C-alpha cells in the first residue's frame, strides 16, 4: 500500500493538454499533488483525503449533454476549490450559474483588470492593476452562482476571476499553469499555501524515504529484475530500489547498438563500479541491426526494437532464475497518458520504445517507484541518491535511440557516422557552456545525399541536421537560438572530421504541446 503525504492537492483532469503543468506548479510550491481523470476523481478523493481541489481546463462544453462534471459532493466537502477555464464553467453550471457561447472568444495572450480583492491573490495583485494572462475559451460564464463575486475581468471574459470567499471557491477563465501567464505559478502557490494553508515542505528527501518503505513492503523477500535503457529514469529507479532491497535486485542492460557514443560503457561502469549493483550486460547489437536491415518505416522500426528488447530481456530473466517483480522507470506523464479518459493502467515496458506490452507469460508484478514524479523531479531524486551530475543532467534519449534519428534504413555505418557528428555537436555545446540551458540537442542523419566540393574533389555524402530545443515542461518546445558563429563552428568541425557528411543544416522548427523527439 503506497504511503501518501499527509498534505496533498487533488487535480481533477477534464482533458486539458496542459493539466500536467498544474501538478508541476503545485509541486514547485512544495506541495504534493496528484491528477485524476474526472471519471476516477471520487476514488482519488477517498484515497488522498486532499486539503484542496483544483479543477482543470478541457476541450468540452458544459452545454453538451455528455460533457464531464466534477463529483457534486466535492462542493459540499468544505475544501478550497480552484477552478480553471472549463473547470470554472462546470463549477458555475453545477452550482446554479449559466454558461453560454462567447461572442468574443479569446485564444492566446489577454489582459485582465483587477476589480476587487481576494485571498487568492492577496500580496500578489492589487485592485486597479492590469495583468497579462493566457486565455483559451469559446464559452464563458454569463451568470454566476449565488455567493460569487467578480474580482477581475477581461475584454472577452467579464468573469475572468470570480470567487466565493466564504466557501473558498475560486474560478479563473485563464490558465495560470502555463508560462504565458507570468504570475500564474505564484497564483497557484498562493492557493495551495495561503488559501489551503499547506506548509510547502514536501521534498525529495521525504519522497525517497517514503518510496524505500513502499518498495520493501511491496517486494518483501521477492526478487526484482530491472531493465536499464541507459537513460535517467531507469537508472534512478534502479538505484532507489537497490537502496531499499539490496541484492534482491538484478539489472539487465540490453545494449542494442543504437546508443550515443560511449553510453553503454558509462552505464556498465556506473552500476558495476560505483553502486556494485548486480548487472547483466547483453551485447545484442548484431541482433538488432540485422533485424532492422531493409526497414524504412519509423513505426516498423519502433515495433521491431520494442519486441526484440522484450524478447532479449525475457530470455535473460529466465537465465538468472526468473523474478517476482519487474522494475520500470515509469514517470507520472506516462501514468496520466495511460489512464486519462480510458481508466486503464499501462502495461507497456517503459524502455522508451512505446511499443509492445508486458507478456502475460512473464507473470511478474510491476514495481514503479517513480510513477508520481515528473522528469525534473526524477533528476532531483537522482541527485538526492548521489548519482553523478553528468548522468542525472543528460538530455533525454528515446529507447529506439539512433534508429529514429536515421530516417530510412539503419546500418552500422550510418550509426557510426551519426555518433561522431552527435559527439562533436554536444562537445561544442558543452564548450560554450550551453548544455544545461538546452532541454535536448541531437544530430540527425537525413536520407539525403548532396554533391559537394571538398578541396579539389567532388563528394556525394549525407546531410546532417542539428536540433536543439528549450523546454520548461517537456510538453512544449522552442528552438534554441544559437548564433551564426556557433553553428558555423559546429558545421565546419562535422564536415571536416566526419567522413560521410558534406553538409550540415539547423532545424528551426518549434513544437506544439506533445512529443519533442525527432519523429
Query: Phi/psi of residue 341, each to 5°?
Result: 65, 5
Contact 91, 70 (CB under 8 A): yes
Q: Specify whether 353 is catalytic.
A: no
Assess whether 85 carries a catalytic annotation: yes
Give yes or no for a contact between 177 and 184, defined as CB atoms under 8 angstroms apart.
yes
User: Which helix (H) or strand (E) covers residue 140, if one does?
Assistant: strand 130-143
Q: Which residues pair with 424 in a beta bridge?
A: none
- Paired residues of 164 in beta bridges: 169
CB 67 within 8 A of CB 61: yes
Is 18 within 8 Å of 26 (Cβ atoms)?
no
Three-state secondary structure call for residue 348: coil
Instruction: Answer for the pair 476, 513: CB distance below 8 angstroms, yes or no.
Output: yes
User: Is 206 one of the annotated active-site residues of the chain?
Assistant: no
Determine the Cα–Cα distance for residues 265 and 250; give it in Å rounded to an integer.
18
Q: Of 93, 131, 137, 177, which one is the catalytic site residue?
A: 177
Which entry of 131, 137, 175, 352 is annotated as an active-site residue?
175
Which listed residue (34, 85, 281, 395) is catalytic? Answer: 85
- Under a CB-based contact definition with an 8 Å cutoff, are residues 237 and 329 in contact? yes
Query: Among 71, 4, 1, 428, which Cα is nearest to 218's?
Result: 1
Whether 435 and 429 have beta carbons less than 8 Å apart is answered as yes
Residues with a catalytic annotation lie at 85, 175, 177
Amino acid at each position: 500500500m503506497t504511503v501518501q503525504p499527509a498534505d496533498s492537492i487533488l487535480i481533477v483532469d477534464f482533458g486539458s493538454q496542459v493539466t500536467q503543468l498544474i501538478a508541476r506548479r503545485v509541486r514547485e510550491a512544495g506541495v504534493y499533488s496528484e491528477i485524476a481523470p474526472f471519471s476516477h476523481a471520487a476514488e482519488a478523493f477517498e484515497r488522498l483525503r486532499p486539503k484542496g481541489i483544483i479543477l482543470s481546463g478541457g476541450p468540452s462544453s458544459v452545454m453538451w449533454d455528455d460533457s464531464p462534471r466534477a463529483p457534486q459532493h466535492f462542493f459540499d466537502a468544505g475544501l478550497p476549490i480552484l477552478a480553471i477555464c472549463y473547470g470554472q464553467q462546470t463549477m458555475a453550471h453545477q452550482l446554479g450559474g449559466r454558461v453560454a457561447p462567447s461572442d468574443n472568444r479569446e485564444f492566446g495572450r489577454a489582459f485582465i483588470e483587477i476589480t476587487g480583492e481576494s485571498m487568492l491573490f492577496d500580496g500578489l495583485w492589487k485592485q486597479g492593476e492590469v495583468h497579462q494572462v493566457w486565455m483559451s475559451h469559446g464559452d464563458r460564464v454569463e451568470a454566476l452562482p449565488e455567493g460569487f463575486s467578480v474580482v477581475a475581468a477581461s475584454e472577452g471574459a467579464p468573469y475572468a476571476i470570480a470567487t466565493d470567499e466564504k466557501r473558498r471557491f475560486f474560478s479563473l477563465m485563464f490558465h495560470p499553469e502555463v508560462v504565458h501567464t507570468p504570475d500564474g505559478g505564484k497564483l497557484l502557490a498562493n492557493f495551495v499555501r495561503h488559501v489551503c494553508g499547506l506548509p510547502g515542505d514536501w521534498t525529495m528527501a521525504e519522497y525517497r524515504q517514503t518510496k524505500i518503505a513502499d518498495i520493501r513492503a511491496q517486494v518483501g523477500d521477492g526478487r526484482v529484475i530491472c531493465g536499464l535503457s541507459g537513460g535517467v529514469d531507469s537508472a534512478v529507479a534502479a538505484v532507489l530500489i537497490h537502496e531499499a532491497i539490496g541484492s534482491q535486485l538484478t539489472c539487465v542492460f540490453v545494449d542494442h547498438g543504437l546508443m550515443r557514443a560511449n553510453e553503454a560503457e558509462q552505464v556498465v561502469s556506473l552500476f558495476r563500479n560505483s553502486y556494485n549493483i548486480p548487472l547483466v550486460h547483453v551485447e545484442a547489437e548484431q541482433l538488432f541491426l540485422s533485424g532492422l536491415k531493409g526497414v524504412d518505416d519509423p513505426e516498423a522500426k519502433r515495433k521491431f526494437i520494442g519486441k526484440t528488447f522484450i524478447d532479449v530481456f525475457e530470455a535473460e530473466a529466465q537465465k538468472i532464475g526468473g523474478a517476482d517483480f519487474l522494475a520500470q522507470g515509469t514517470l507520472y506523464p506516462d501514468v496520466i497518458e495511460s489512464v486519462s479518459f480510458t481508466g486503464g493502467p499501462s502495461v507497456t515496458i517503459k524502455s522508451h520504445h512505446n511499443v509492445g506490452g508486458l507478456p502475460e507469460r512473464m507473470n511478474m508484478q510491476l514495481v514503479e517507484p517513480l510513477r508520481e514524479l515528473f522528469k525534473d523531479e526524477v533528476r532531483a531524486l537522482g541527485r538526492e541518491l548521489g548519482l553523478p551530475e553528468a548522468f542525472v543532467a543528460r538530455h533525454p534519449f528515446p529507447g529506439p535511440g539512433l534508429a529514429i534519428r536515421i530516417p530510412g534504413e539503419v546500418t552500422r555505418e550510418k550509426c557510426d557516422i551519426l555518433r561522431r557528428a552527435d559527439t562533436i555537436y554536444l562537445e561544442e555545446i558543452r564548450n560554450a557552456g550551453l548544455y544545461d540551458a538546452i532541454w535536448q540537442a541531437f544530430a540527425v542523419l537525413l536520407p539525403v545525399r548532396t554533391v559537394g566540393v571538398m578541396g579539389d574533389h567532388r563528394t556525394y555524402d549525407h546531410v546532417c541536421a542539428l536540433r536543439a530545443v528549450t523546454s520548461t515542461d517537456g510538453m512544449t518546445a522552442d528552438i534554441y537560438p544559437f548564433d551564426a558563429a556557433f553553428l558555423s563552428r559546429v558545421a565546419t568541425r562535422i564536415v571536416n572530421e566526419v567522413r560521410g557528411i558534406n553538409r550540415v543544416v539547423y532545424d528551426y522548427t518549434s513544437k506544439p504541446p506533445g512529443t519533442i523527439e525527432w519523429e
